[in-house]
Amino acid sequence: MAVLVTGGAGYIGSHMVLELLDAGEQVVILDNLSTGFRWAVPEAAALVVGDVGDQDLVSKVIEEHGVDSILHFAARIVVPESVTDPLGYYFNNTVKTRALIETAVRAGIKNFVFSSTAAVYGNADMPLLSEDMPLSPINPYGRSKLMSEWMLQDAHVAHGLRYAILRYFNVAGADPKGRSGQSTPQATHLIKVAAQAALGQRPYLDVFGTDYETSDGTCVRDYIQVNDLARAHLVALRSLREGGDCAVMNCGYGHGASVLEVVDVVKKVSGVDFEVRLSPRRPGDPAQLVAKVDRIRSLGWQPQHDNLMEIVDQALRWERTLMGRIAA
Ligand SMILES: NC(=O)c1ccc[n+]([C@@H]2O[C@H](COP(=O)([O-])OP(=O)(O)OC[C@H]3O[C@@H](n4cnc5c(N)ncnc54)[C@H](O)[C@@H]3O)[C@@H](O)[C@H]2O)c1
């Protein structure tokens, strides 16, 4: 049986594809290449260029490739953009996910793993966020994802579609073998942006807010390395295939680093003392987002890259690869 990876030409999806291929799975990718890259798709995976909302196409792909499980990464992911274009976000992330779930149910798909986000927790200022906390996303992106979670859970009850919902915290780093990385030029992820500043791709780095109630006043986030995250999906998929319970699971390391700590590590690893500008808080940034991770760990998931220096080194290497690609 094959696994269908939607958004498999994007940052996290492309690492997932590598992980699945390394594990001996057959993989078919569906991606409309809106933010993904054809070159991010390894030869061993089939790529279908198209939209997850295209039910005829998805049905055909499922039948032709003998798909039993769907890993659904395809989405738009930029929070400020979701505020200015909420209907675009609800269309792409929620309406099209509804279509995909319906196609999956009709085709008899057994397992569905969904990319959700810590953004569903909203402004919950707690030391550790657990999956059972009340959810109150504060932007359209988070709401577009929470509605998808609900649809999946309801489709499970009504139609038996088995699901794992993974709520990612801050995803970072790049494949240690150098096969993929975060390639979106306008990405807003702190570690990528800091790596770009270190390599002269940006003139300076903004730090938003230095008066939070944290050890150094800057926001604290739980950074999870992208291959570790991909392996969490593999573990969740195996559990579903073996009859394990459907579940909602945080994906992080259970400890955080502040913005200034990350900046220090990027300066140390790169050897570049790039300019840092201390700016006022941005609206909607909680002081601290750190995951409680007992659930995903209870499935046997063990991080292999829980080391900020290593993650930053991977990000810097990948940024250099991209610079070489542009120069060539
Ligand atoms: N990057 C993070 O830190 C983070 C954190 C939490 C959750 N997530 C979730 O992880 C998933 C992947 O994010 P990413 O960082 O890899 O983003 P990305 O933009 O690199 O990848 C998304 C991929 O989906 C494709 N896509 C988008 N809409 C599509 C559609 N309608 N049909 C077909 N393909 C479509 C894009 O072309 C792209 O290849 C998303 O669902 C996102 O919400 C990401």
Confidence band for 292, pLDDT divided at 50, 70 and 90:
very high
Which residue is closest in CA terms to ligand 1's atom 7?
117
Q: Are residues 86 and 75 in the same domain?
A: yes
The verdict on residue 124 lying in a domain is: yes
The fraction of the chain above a pLDDT of 90, given in percent, is 93
**Across 119-138, average pLDDT:** 92
If you measure from the C-alpha of residue 183 to the centroid of ligand 1, how many angstroms do you get, rounded to a whole number? 12
How far apart (Å, rounded) are the C-alpha atoms in residues 294 and 130?
9
At residue 145, the 3 state secondary structure works out as: helix
The fraction of the chain above a pLDDT of 70, given in percent, is 100
Q: What is the CA radius of gyration of the chain?
A: 19
Of 100-114, 121-135, 150-164, the one with minimum mean pLDDT is 121-135
Q: Are residues 201 and 119 in the same domain?
A: no
Contacts of 225 (CB under 8 A, 6+ apart): 172, 173, 303, 304, 305, 306, 310, 311, 314
Pocket test for ligand 1, best of 6, 11, 78 (most atoms within 8 A of CB): 11
Whether residue 26 contacts residue 91, with contact meaning beta carbons closer than 8 Å, is answered with no
Contacts of 137 (CB under 8 A, 6+ apart): 119, 120, 121, 122, 143, 145, 146
Give the ligand 1 atom nearest the CA of 182: 20
pLDDT for 261 equals 98
Q: Are residues 56 and 147 in the same domain?
A: yes
Is 288 a residue whose pLDDT tops 80?
Answer: yes
The verdict on residue 178 lying in a domain is: no
Q: Are residues 195 and 265 in the same domain?
A: yes
The verdict on residue 129 lying in a domain is: yes
**Across 178-188, average pLDDT:** 91
How far apart (Å, rounded) are the C-alpha atoms in residues 272 and 249?
37
Which residue is closest in CA terms to ligand 1's atom 34?
31
For the segment 50-94, what is each residue's pLDDT rounded down to a tens digit? 999 999 999 999 999 999 999 999 999 998 899 999 999 999 999
Q: How many domains does the chain have?
A: 2
Q: Cα–Cα distances in Å, from 284 out to 121, 186, 193, 217, 223?
A: 12, 20, 20, 16, 19
Contacts of 185 (CB under 8 A, 6+ apart): none
**C-alpha angle with apex 224: 125 to 150, nearest 5 degrees?**
60
The verdict on residue 214 lying in a domain is: yes
| Domain ranges, residue 283 | 190-221+254-327
Is 327 a residue whose pLDDT tops 80?
Answer: no
Q: Are residues 73 and 197 in the same domain?
A: no
Q: Are residues 318 and 232 in the same domain?
A: no
Query: What are the residue numbers of the active site?
Result: 141
**Across 244-249, average pLDDT:** 98
The first and second tokens of residue 160, run together, are 């038996």
For the segment 137-162, what is each residue's pLDDT rounded down to a tens digit? 999 999 999 999 999 999 999 999 99
3 state SS for 67-111: EEEEEECCCCCCHHHHHHCHHHHHHHHHHHHHHHHHHHHHHCCCE
If you measure from the C-alpha of residue 216 to the centroid of ligand 1, how many angstroms do you get, rounded to a whole number? 32
The verdict on residue 177 lying in a domain is: no
User: Chain-wide mean pLDDT for the chain?
Assistant: 96
Which residue is closest in CA terms to ligand 1's atom 18?
10
The verdict on residue 182 lying in a domain is: no
Q: Are residues 106 and 45 in the same domain?
A: yes
| Residues in the ligand 1 pocket, defined by CB under 6 Å | 6-7, 9-13, 30-36, 51-53, 73-75, 77, 92, 96, 115, 117, 168, 170-171, 184, 189
Confidence band for 209, pLDDT divided at 50, 70 and 90:
very high
pLDDT for 186 equals 81
Confidence band for 273, pLDDT divided at 50, 70 and 90:
very high
Q: Are residues 27 and 104 in the same domain?
A: yes
If you measure from the C-alpha of residue 261 to the centroid of ligand 1, how many angstroms do you get, rounded to a whole number? 27
**C-alpha angle with apex 307: 146 to 296, nearest 5 degrees?**
40
Q: Are residues 89 and 212 in the same domain?
A: no
For residue 234, the domain's CATH number is 3.40.50.720
Q: Are residues 239 and 94 in the same domain?
A: yes
The first and second tokens of residue 151, run together, are 């649809």
If you measure from the C-alpha of residue 157 to the centroid of ligand 1, how many angstroms do you get, rounded to a whole number? 26
Q: Are residues 13 and 73 in the same domain?
A: yes
Q: Are residues 230 and 89 in the same domain?
A: yes
If you measure from the C-alpha of residue 275 to the centroid of ligand 1, how many angstroms do you get, rounded to a whole number? 30
For residue 263, the domain's CATH number is 3.90.25.10
Is 284 a residue whose pLDDT tops 80?
Answer: no
